[in-house]
Chains A and B, each alone.
Chain A
Amino acid sequence: MHRVFIILQKEWIEIRQQWTLLFSIVLPPIFLTVLPLFVLAQFKGTNLQTHGSVPLNYPSMQGMTLNEALQAQIGMQLSIMYVLLPGIITSVIASYSIIGEKTSQTLEPVLATPIRTWELLLGKCLAALIPGVGVTWLSGLIFLLILPFLVDQRVFNAIVSPGWLVLFLLWSPLLALIAIAVMLAVSSRVNDARSAQQVSAWLIVPFLAVFFGQLAGVQVLGPAFTLIVALILAVLAIVVLWVTVRIFQRETILTRWK
């Protein structure tokens, strides 16, 4: 495990040197935390009149005023973007990490050391996963700390539901792990970071399903549903990681990575 931390340390030194990468890590969470809070703040203290129908068929919205229902709806839609965030951040880091090594031909000297392939792989995974999930959870925590000042308790409970907590605590790191594994696998075939990142765009699919499901009035963030999906994501993560470890072999890297 010692060598895993050596790899981790080296990766983070390199990440700190890359301003564009740092912006890619820091800006999305700031944006996705500030935006919902800003929008919710616009409704604070207002007293909207009815202009049309607002779907109030969520059990958590029963008894809410129009104002509160809008806040809850907006808050729920925007807060599920935390599903997307770690996947974006980790895929950016992981793509630069692997493809950067490939193009600068630095992998062979590393593989010539006693390091085991799984140590190298784990070090690179953690180097991408920890910032991605860490920044996501930190920005989520900031969101949770500020939200009570902008909405009342019923709206807070509607936004920060048990389902949302499962999504935030389990979906986001699992999706991040899958993104990293996909990036490592794709990086073995492509030679620029943008191509690799384009492939990881499919990770947006679960987010879109949740987003549009809620928009259509279908309550998708129930705890049972989110736990089942978390389980599926966990299995998927294991499968994808297994495939990636098979691809990420010393000999394959040296003889087939071009």
Chain B
Amino acid sequence: MNAIETSKLTRRFGHLTAVDNLTLSIPEGTVFGFLGPNGAGKTTVVRMLTALIAPTEGQAQVVGYRVGSEDSALRQHVGILTETPGLYDRLTALQNLVFFAQLYNLSVQRAKQQAERYLRMLDLWERRNDKVSGFSKGMRQKLAIVRALLHEPEIVFLDEPTSGLDPEASRVVRDFIKELHAEGRTIFLTTHNLPEADELCDLIGVFRTQLLQVGTPDDLRAGLFGRGTEVRVAGDPALWVPMARALSFVRNVAVREDALVIALDDPDTQNPPLVQALVQAGAPIRAVAPIVHSLEDVYLQLVDNGDKQKNAVK
């Protein structure tokens, strides 16, 4: 079953189309990374999927509840970390959590049990009776994450969860997200931290008003840049280009500094014969490594392609 299903989901604000025809399926138990530049409409998508605002057109279903007709029930089953933590400064951490938990129909006792559980996981339990006004940005962010989980939602929307956090706090939050994932929760994550998305996400969607591409990180890399192997050799690598090109399974060969960059369909099975052929030909091989394009390369390429497509239509 899919945790999220959307069909031509659209949202306009006057003449501005913030979200255009979003059709998306996210399986249960997935960590889905939703990437896009500032102003792309990501927050608008999150608000529609959490029944905060209504779509202009299209449909969406989140954990089985239809957006627009089952909003109250939907909100009971989702948790959200909003763009700003939105905590009450004059209340203590525990008072904040109990307040929100009660709005999610938890009893005070259950709210306190849940608060203790998650505050301990995020190293905030000792600060539970301190007013939030004295919390650092990182602590507020962690507290807001706890708030999103108190009622044990099946799906959690995390809007830039590590934004503004120091490396240690970011690591704690990322590990926490992995724990949630291991529990089988679906996580919808928006982030500008691409290495983080690469580390955490099973699926990634790149969005800029429209959905540009969706797939696993590896599929996105392969789809845009293909797969391949880098072979570093002593001496001039150009000497070995004709020999490599002659191999039937090699799609393309290029030279980069002291290495041959060889495009292959399936490096796992084609690397051994490639290396064997090079060695037999006398190539002085220094190192063999897979070509890895960063998610940043993927993201920038997709966004650039999307802009070009939009301009071409105009």
Contact = CB atoms under 8 A, between A and B. Distances in A.
5 contacts: A14-B90, A104-B89, A107-B86, A114-B103, A115-B103
B289 to A, nearest CB: 46
A115 B102 CA distance: 10
Contact of A254 (B47, B73, B78): B47
B75 A112 contact: yes
Interface string B75-88: 11010101011111
A105 interface: yes
Given A3-B103, A113-B75, A114-B105, A250 B89 contact: no
A14 B88 contact: yes
Interface string B33-59: 000000000000001001011100000
Which of A114, A116, A251 has the most chain B CB atoms closer than 10 A to its own CB? A114
B186 interface: no
Contacts of A106: 86-88
Contacts of A13: 90-91, 95
A232 interface: no
B17 interface: no
Contact of A109 (B90, B95, B147): B147
A108 B157 CA distance: 13
Contact of B13 (A6, A111, A113, A255): A255
Contact of B103 (A6, A14, A108, A250): A6
Interface residues of A, number: 25
Interface of B: 13, 47, 50, 52-54, 72-73, 75-76, 78, 80, 82, 84-91, 95, 99-100, 102-105, 144, 147
Given A108-B82, A109-B80, 9 more contacts: A3-B102, A6-B102, A13-B95, A104-B89, A106-B86, A107-B86, A109-B85, A250-B53, A254-B53
A69 B85 CA distance: 62
B53 A255 contact: yes
A235 interface: no
B159 to A, nearest CB: 10
A18 interface: yes
A116 B72 contact: yes
Contacts of A57: none
Q: Pick the most buried of B47, B76, B85, B86: most chain A CB atoms within 10 A of its CB.
A: B86
Contacts of B13: 255
Contacts of B84: 105, 108
A113 to B, nearest CB: 4
B224 to A, nearest CB: 35
Nearest to B79: A112
B76 to A, nearest CB: 5
A34 interface: no
Given A112-B75, A113-B100, A255-B13, A105 B54 contact: no
Contacts of B80: 109, 112
A3 B106 CA distance: 11
Nearest to B102: A6
A31 B146 CA distance: 46
A113 B106 CA distance: 12
A30 interface: no
Contacts of B78: 112
Contacts of A110: 86, 100, 103
Contact of B99 (A10, A17, A254, A255): A10
Contact of A114 (B75, B86, B89, B91): B75
Contacts of A250: 52-53
A239 B76 CA distance: 33
A113 B103 contact: yes
Interface in A50-91: none
A135 B13 CA distance: 45
Nearest to A115: B103
Contacts of A114: 72-73, 75-76, 103-105
Contacts of B88: 10, 14, 104, 106
Given A10-B91, A14-B91, A111 B52 contact: yes
Interface string A10-33: 100110011000000000000000
B82 A17 contact: no
Contacts of B72: 114, 116
A199 to B, nearest CB: 25
A139 to B, nearest CB: 27
Contacts of B102: 3, 6
Contacts of A10: 88, 91, 99
Contacts of B89: 104
Given A107-B86, A116-B72, A6 B99 contact: yes
